[in-house]
Amino acid sequence: MSNEIIIVFTDLDGTLLDHSTYSYSEAENALRSLREKGIHLVLCSSKSRDEIKIYRDKLSNNEPFISENGGAIYIPEKYGLKCEFNKTDNGFLVVEIGAEYEILKTAFDKIKRETGVQLKGIAEFTVDEIVDLTGLSREEACFAQKKEYSLPFLIDGSEEDIEKIKNKIQLSGFNYTEGARFAYMMGGNDKGKAVSFLIDIFRKNYTETEILTVGLGDSLNDLPMLEAVDKKFLVKKKLGNYEERIKVKDLNYADGIGPVGWNKAILGLFGK
Concatenating the DSSP letter of every residue in 256-270 gives EETHHHHHHHHHHHH
Helix (H, G, I), strand (E, B) or coil at 74: strand
pLDDT at 60: 97
Q: What is the DSSP letter of 26?
A: G
- Are 199 and 181 part of one and the same domain? no
Q: Is the pLDDT of residue 213 over 90?
A: yes
Confidence of residue 271 (pLDDT cuts 50, 70, 90): confident
Which domain does 161 fall in, by range?
Answer: 101-186
Q: Does the active-site annotation cover 18?
A: no
pLDDT tens-place string over residues 36-72: 999 999 999 999 999 999 999 999 999 999 999 999 9
The alpha helices in 60-207, defined as continuous H runs, are 101-115, 127-134, 138-145, 159-171, 191-205
Q: How many CB atoms lie within 10 A of CB 120?
A: 15
Same domain, 165 and 178: yes
Whether residue 1 has pLDDT greater than 90: no
Q: How confident is the model at residue 178 (pLDDT cuts 50, 70, 90)?
A: very high
3-state secondary structure of 99: coil
Q: Which of 160, 186, 212 is a domain's end point?
A: 186
How many domains is the chain partitioned into structurally?
Answer: 2
Q: Which residues pair with 6 in a beta bridge?
A: 212
**11, 13, 190, 222: which is the annotated catalytic residue?**
11
What is the model's pLDDT at position 16?
98
Average of per-residue pLDDT across 179-185: 93
Q: What percent of the chain has pLDDT over 90?
A: 97
Across the chain, what does the average pLDDT equal?
96
Q: Tens digits of per-residue pLDDT, 76-103?
A: 999 999 999 999 999 999 999 999 999 9
Question: What's the pLDDT tens digit per position in 11-44?
Answer: 999 999 999 999 999 999 999 999 999 999 999 9
Statement to judge: residues 131 and 77 lie in one domain:
no
Strand-pairing partners, residue 231, are: 214
Pairing of strands 87-89, 72-76: unpaired
CATH of the domain at 126: 3.30.980.20
d(CA 232, CA 106): 36
